Structures are given as C-alpha cells and as structure tokens.
Amino acid sequence: MTGDGGYFALRDDLGALAVERDVVRVAGPDAESYLQGQTSQDIAKLQAGESAWALVLQPQGKLDAFVRVNKVEPAEFYLDTDAGTGAQLVARLQRFKLRTKADIDQLDWRAVAVRGPAAAAGAPERSDGVALVARFEWGGMTGYDLLGPGPALPPGAVSVQVGAYEAGRIEAGFPRHGAELDDRTIPAEAGLVEASVSFTKGCYTGQELVARIDSRGSNVPRRLRALVLSGPAAAGARLHRQGAEAVDVPDAEGFPEPAEPAVQPRAARADDKEVGRLTSVAWSPRLGWVALGYVSRGVGVGSTLLARDDQGEAEARVELLPVT
C-alpha cells in the first residue's frame, strides 16, 4: 500500500482492488436477438470476447440498469452492473421475455478492478477463479475487470484503497447506481449516451425518449458535473448559488436556464435557490476534495457554488468531466 492509497498507481502505473459487481448470465438460442431488443447498444456487432456499455431502459426511457454487455458467443452473454442492481436487472429482463428461448440468472461472482496505463500490456488469461476478463475505459481511466468465482489481484499491481479508487471514479465521471443513477435518471443527464447508445441499430425498449432528446441537442434540465470543493461535504449536500453567481448564464454547452419571474430580485435568491446536489464525494491526493453532482443547466462551468449540509458549507467549483 502506498501513502496515497494507490491513487497514483491507478493514474500512472497499475493498481487493483476488489470491487462489488453483480453479474447476470443470459444464455440460450434467442439470447442475442432478445438483448438486441432490450438494450441500447448494437450487441449483434460484438465479436466473441468483446464487451460494450449499454442501457436497459424502462418503456418511458428512464434507466433500469447501466450495464456492460460481455459476449461469449451468440448464445451466451454476461451483463455486469453495480452491486445491488443485479436482482432488479433479472426481474426487468424476465418481465419482457415472453416466449424467448433464453435463461436469465444472477451469478454468485466477485470482481477485481485493475486500472492504470500498465494494464494495456495485457490482461491475464482465464483461470479457476477468473471466468471473464472485461475491458474498462471511461473518462481517461483504463484497465480491465476480472470477474468470476474467486479473482485475485494480478501480480505487480499496487493494492488500492476504496477511497483512492472512489476519487479516480469521480474524476473520470463514471456514474454509479445508488449515487448518480436510479430509476428516475434520464441517460443524457448522466453522460451515458455517447458510450452506451447506438443510433443505427433497430428498435429497443425505451428508445423514443433517448432519440427525442438527442434530436433536440441533448437539452436536459440538469447535467452530471465534477465539482472541486474547498472542504469536505457529504453526498446529498445541496448546491446553492452565491453572490455574483445568482445571475443565470448559459453553461459551456449553451443551454440557458429558463427565466425566473422579474419580481424576484436575483440577489435575494442567491443563497436560497437550490441548483443541484452532490452525489459522491472523495479526497483526491491530486486535487483535494472532489465530487460528482447534478447541477441545473443554467449553472456555467467555472461557476463557484456553495455546497451545504448539516455539518456546514464548502465552496464548490463546477468542472466539466473528466477532470484531468
């Protein structure tokens, strides 16, 4: 273990730690055609051994699960997702299965996350404890995940603490169920669409909302942003404007916030109007306190807000993801 908890190994070398992931196996003659109609990704284009991020959506287009689809063969797929989401994913897939010839089961597997530039040298082969090696890439963080009954940290990898990994996840902007993601999430808000959606495949459940928002320039009321804090704060802390930041401005993508009634003086609203909430917070050896949070589209990148919770308040500078 290093004094930074393995944080710089994740960024500059090779770090690893056990993480919690749920894995769902979908297997049978109709597995590929069924998942093609239930996920946002064109999985029919995947070759055996390849993987891709995908969304499993409600019919109304909000999120049921953010998954990585791992293709073993056309009749066998493994979908891994955040811990605590697997049972919901199984129930969701079972609900729409009807007469589909495919079995859907959650596996009792564990996971090891391996991250860092040195991971590009190659992932280990499958072994007794590793049934699946899945590539990982998001916001500049790269590596792979070892999934199976008993994966171990690869030789030469620095053992990483959970807090250091969380800081890296936040800086990369990789959203997590139970923090940034839930059943009310619109995929475009969380920055999921570019990596997880094919706009050239056929129809899938929940497609209409995704396509409509994309056709309108991804104009959504709030967006997931990085925030660099002046001090500690808790997930769930409310974000408020302060002083000069009370004036609504277009954000970096040009989406102005709807105008407020003129009878409300902006200065009077400065400390009262909630414009977002923190979803995850961690200490970064490189940047200090960092966070993910949703902020309204009228909050410009570079703005400084106040993050308030029961313990006090901290300044929060709004940044684009990923934080480099």
Residues 26 and 163 in one domain: yes
Claim to verify: residue 131 and residue 251 sit in the same structural domain: no
Residues 239 and 133 in one domain: no
Tell me the torsion sign for CA atoms 47, 48, 54, 58: positive
Is residue 200 assigned to a domain?
no
pTM, two decimals, is 0.90
Same-domain status, 147 and 235: no
The answer to whether residue 195 sits within a structural domain is: no
142 with 11, same domain?
Answer: yes
Q: Where are the beta strands (DSSP E) in 186-273?
A: 222-229, 238-240
Whether 19 is in a domain gets the answer yes
What is the domain range of residue 256? 222-319
The structural domain count of the chain equals 2
Give Rg (Cα) of the chain: 21
Q: What is the CATH number of the domain that holds 315?
A: 2.40.30.110
Collect all residues with Cβ–Cβ distance below 8 Å to 75 and sequence separation of at least 6.
27, 28, 29, 31, 32
Using the 3D structure, point to which of 156, 172, 188 is the last residue of a domain: 172
Q: Is residue 74 part of a domain?
A: yes
Whether 306 is covered by a domain: the verdict is: yes
- Each of the 324 residues of the chain gets a pLDDT tens digit; together they read 568 999 999 999 999 999 999 999 999 999 999 999 999 999 999 999 999 999 999 999 999 999 999 999 999 999 999 999 999 999 999 999 999 999 999 999 999 999 999 998 877 777 779 999 999 999 999 999 999 999 999 999 999 999 999 999 999 999 999 999 999 999 999 999 999 999 999 999 999 999 999 998 888 999 999 999 999 999 999 999 986 445 444 444 433 343 333 333 334 344 568 999 999 999 999 999 999 999 999 999 999 999 999 889 999 999 999 998
Can you give the length of the chain in residues?
Answer: 324
- Cβ–Cβ < 8 Å for 152, 169: no
Whether 183 maps to a domain, the answer reads: no
